[in-house]
Amino acid sequence: MPKLKGISRILKSDKLKNIVKKIMGFISSHRLLSLLIVGAVVALVVILAIFGRKEVVVVQTQEKRKAPVTINRLEIIVPPGAFPTGKRFLIKEIPRDSERYRRIVEKSNFLEEVYEVVPKDGREELALIPLTLRYRIPRKYYLGNDSFNLFLGYMKSDDDVLRRIYGCEMKEDDRGVYIEAKVFHTSIIGFSAGSPKEFVMGIRNMIERPPSYKPPVLIIPGIDGNFVGAIPKTRTNENPQGKNIWEFIFPDRSIWVYRYPLKSTRPKVYTDAAEAFFERNKRDYLIYEAKRLATELKRFPYKFDVVAHGIGGLLIRYAIESDPTVTNVRRVVLVDVPNLGTNLANPVYLNLLYGKSPDALAEIYGTDPDSIRFLVKNALDYLEKVNVFWVDLKPDSDFIHILNSFGLRKDVDYLAISGTTPSFTVRITGTELEKLYPEFIEGSGDGVVTTNSACYEGKMDCVKFPHSFSDIYLQPEVLDKIKEFLEGGLKEPEEYVFKDDTFIERTASPGCEILPTPTIVEEITETGTKAESKKSTKMLQLEISTGERYLPLNYQTNRIFEFPTERGKFRFLNSDYGIYVVMENEITLLTDILSEPSSSIVYVGEKIHANMFDGKLYVLDSSG
């Protein structure tokens, strides 16, 4: 009661009445300014409420366009149809001052805020259409439009290891820079950074060899980066590229590689160019990359032999089969290429198994729990690695239909290589799962691609080997087959052999004096006290081992040089530098013919042959 009486006295006091009166007077005389102040206060309260939230609920919508739900730095979009029924997710920010945050960061190297995205119904399901994540990063971590060292990652639990989300993209809007990624499931999410590297795209040289009649080899990898062939820990200052497996298979050819961001983060300079392409064309990353590859090939004036793996084979096929103006590809080797697609890229099939009890599924499908675990793990791993390319790799995709509508090039030789043994064993033969995933059946697939898809239904020459998708290109018999195919059709040109001239360059004219041996000819005419030398033009006859020939000496001088050499043991070769006098074991260069003559010995040794070619003197000695 005393407190209430005190409050009542304050409300009735003249001081408070005066304050209220002044505020009301200000509002009445400054209505517009007062409205702006009130609006700003309300907006500030709303912003603090949104960005100060530690958790928020995001709901799947049936609308075609859905604005992202934001909690601090993380935005998430659940597209229509992502789940069979409406799905609600709880997004929680893990407090940075908590023990849990410290433990997660120690295991993951996450930077800044970490979030946990969990389904409200507790059911872990795989999305049929990927969710979009956007993480707004502080500007201090952004190194420029060509930087690609930042990426999003996830952990399945607090004790799990960091798993990279492949195919992230750097983008920017009026709110700043952010990383965008597509995911099929939710978990603990954060962003991390790798070592800064130079972003390199296009056809790049790995091993340089002297030019030859054999075309250089172009390597186009897929999701397996080891296909490039780089041998670890072999880089030096003298050889910054390091050693490469392919240089041992093709020791006399240059080795090139086509680089494109399949699994790595795509920098802003790349995503800007891709978005500009998508504004004018179908939104398809494989088509975009294939068009870039075709453009790159046209830059080179010589032909390539191509060896491609997985998705890389789809790129080279689309590049040359959709564009007949690409004419510098001679032969193509397609190693485990999904020419007809692969079921591992179909999230509908994996959705039947993901997040469900392996024991229950094993009983339903008549197999064992370990086979279920291996199947789910490997199918999910492939789906995550191909990221945005998944939509093109399904057997019924528009891309596969478009690609195979072009037809194989008649001026290009193809060889398909298919593996028939997965790298792991799943016992699903004879079960319903065999129909969903024939890629995992020994004899029918390599663990990623079926033999029917790799061999393009027999429409191209195909060789099968008992190896898996990830190790087939490392096997000696496979490498020998690739080399044998690419060596085919090459014809070594005939080597040109220089021969000494035997034809008569010039015959003597009537009345022209023939000198049997080199000598000095002078004609002196006395005029007063001064002796003048007449200009004379003489023909010099040299008899050498190949017979007689006549060489003109039109030097407009009174001197023709006499050489202390036996007759028949030397000859002349004219050049821009002077006259080469080729003797049996010595070659001398005479210069300053028009003034005082000088000479220098340029070769001493056992000479087999010497001749001028393209303005240069070539000497073949006894050592070869």
DSSP-assigned states of every residue in 453-482: HHTGGGTS-EEEES--TTTGGGSHHHHHHH
Q: 55-193 and 202-231+243-342+389-421+442-487 share one CATH topology?
A: no
Please list, in sequence order, all residues whose beta carbon lies within 8 angstroms of the beta carbon of residue 201, skipping any fewer than 6 positions away: 259, 260, 261, 270, 292
What order do you get walking across the sheet with 255-259 strand by strand? 202-207, 255-259, 217-220, 304-309, 329-335, 413-419, 462-465
**Token pair of 143 as six digits:** 């190194």
SS3 363: helix
Picking from 548, 540, 553, the residue whose alpha carbon sits closest to that of residue 514 is: 540
SS3 content of the chain, % helix, strand, coil (to 5): 30, 25, 45
pLDDT at res. 37: 65
**Token pair of 412 as six digits:** 């290009």
Pick the CATH number of 55-193 from 3.40.50, 1.10.1760, 2.60.220, 3.30.1490: 2.60.220
Write down the residue that tokens 């994540």 correspond to: 133
pLDDT at res. 472: 95
Phi, psi of 299 (to 5 degrees): -75, -20
pLDDT at res. 576: 67
pLDDT at res. 215: 96
pTM of the predicted model over 0.75: no
Superfamily per CATH, domain 202-231+243-342+389-421+442-487: Alpha/Beta hydrolase fold, catalytic domain (3.40.50.1820)
pLDDT at res. 57: 56
Low-confidence ranges of the chain (pLDDT < 70): 1-69, 496-570, 576-577, 590-599, 614, 622-624
pLDDT at res. 568: 44
pLDDT at res. 594: 43
Per-residue burial over 284-310, b if 16 or more Cβ lie within 10 Å, else e, is bbbbbbbbbbbebbeeeeebbbbbbbb
Q: Where are the domains of the chain?
A: 55-193, 202-231+243-342+389-421+442-487, 514-621
What secondary structure, in 3-state letters, does 330-361 show? EEEEEECCCCCCCHHHCHHHHHCCCCCCHHHH
Phi, psi of 312 (to 5 degrees): -60, -35
Please list, in sequence order, all residues whose beta carbon lies within 8 angstroms of the beta carbon of residue 283, skipping any fewer than 6 positions away: none
Which residue type, as a one-letter code, is found at position 119? P
